[in-house]
Structure 1
């Protein structure tokens, strides 16, 4: 019994760790590698999408002839989260610029071909409490439809 556990432990320690996460879509896989970089078909985006502390998939949303993937870039206390929409089709993949208020408190909904991310405003812990409370009462609505991202009705560049 002892030898079996010792052999198992030795194999576990000598095996390379595979930390990459595979995200299957109808149009090929996205991957998050062990450097927190987002890849499509094992190639980085241009400009690259590199997570601060990590990247998480919040959802995959089929939308007609494309899949839309919402990615969360997890940061620190100054800016806990930023977001990206990745649009995949038979022609390839594209990504929005990072967006968000830095809040990691989000609600995500899909209605037809639109994906909406709603979040409060955000002021970091070093801002005065009154400014933090004021920002928390704000409502920011990000809408992604047909490759276009808007915030409260205005196009996000």
Structure 2
């Protein structure tokens, strides 16, 4: 089984890679209409890379779906392809949401011949990345979503100085000066990324089952510090990746699933967990669906 740190790092790397080349990889809509029946060549069934689990970002495109993982050996992107309408596909899709990190246990997969017409056709379906290898999922065990955030920290070094969260009251200091007053709940840093000319930190607060997590974006630059309003669905299943596109300013894309509390009906909990909320931080502005996130 992979160490948790390596898995989280791989999930963030995959998500960032998907975002960075999405514009180039998404083909015209007409290409998605190509009927594809993926046939695995007659190669021995194997447990890929000797691991019993894979951790990747779920990518859905037309008639096929894939889990995009970073190879632990080479660092290359690998696509584990499956039919979303098959029992295996339905089982995975019932537990994982598109564009979110997904962990699947007990994986058996077969390499697909990269030169076969069926595999060549896969590349034209519009997946968000162009993987180095295609594999067909044959069987898998339990699947679940996981967070793609970093291990919580109380101190990070930015290009503009050291950010520290005080242990006694969770106030946030930059170079020894308080920049975020003590909140009502404990705070930790769960993501640190360079976004253009800023160092962007994702601050997580919240605990317990009623609302496990809420967030703020703290941006540090040569001009000073900006802190966003608090936001989130209360879910702690979150990814935050830097998205870079040609001729566009870098941005931090924060995705999380919806949340219904433990006292809500199970159907409401399942329905909420199938929703994906997306927040975008770019040049001092935090938005959702193009609208500024209001102060609470």
**TM-score clears 0.5:** yes
Name stretches of at least 5 consecutive residues in structure 1 with no aligned partner: 1-19
The structure carrying a bigger strand percent of its residues is: 1
For residues 36-55 of structure 1, the C-alpha deviation after alignment (integer angstroms, 9 at most, x for no partner) is: 22222333335x35262x32
For the structure 1 residues 151 and 90, does the alpha-carbon distance in structure 2 shift closer, same or farther, using more than 3 Å as the test? same
Name stretches of at least 5 consecutive residues in structure 2 with no aligned partner: 1-152, 245-249
Detail structure 1 runs of 4+ shifted over 4 Å in the superposition: none
Residue 27 of structure 1 pairs with residue 164 of structure 2: no
> What's the counterpart of residue 194 of structure 2?
62
2:178 to 20, 24, 44: 44
Residue 132 of structure 1 pairs with residue 279 of structure 2: no
CA RMSD for the aligned pairs? 1.9
Structure 2 length-normalised TM: 0.43
For residues 96-123 of structure 1, the C-alpha deviation after alignment (integer angstroms, 9 at most, x for no partner) is: 0111100000111111311111111111
Report SS of the residue matched to 1:101.
strand
Structure 1 length-normalised TM: 0.78
For the structure 1 residues 51 and 23, does the alpha-carbon distance in structure 2 shift closer, same or farther, using more than 3 Å as the test? farther
Paired with 2:242 and 2:196, the residues of 1 have a C-alpha distance of: 12
Q: Whose radius of gyration is greater, 1 or 2?
A: 2
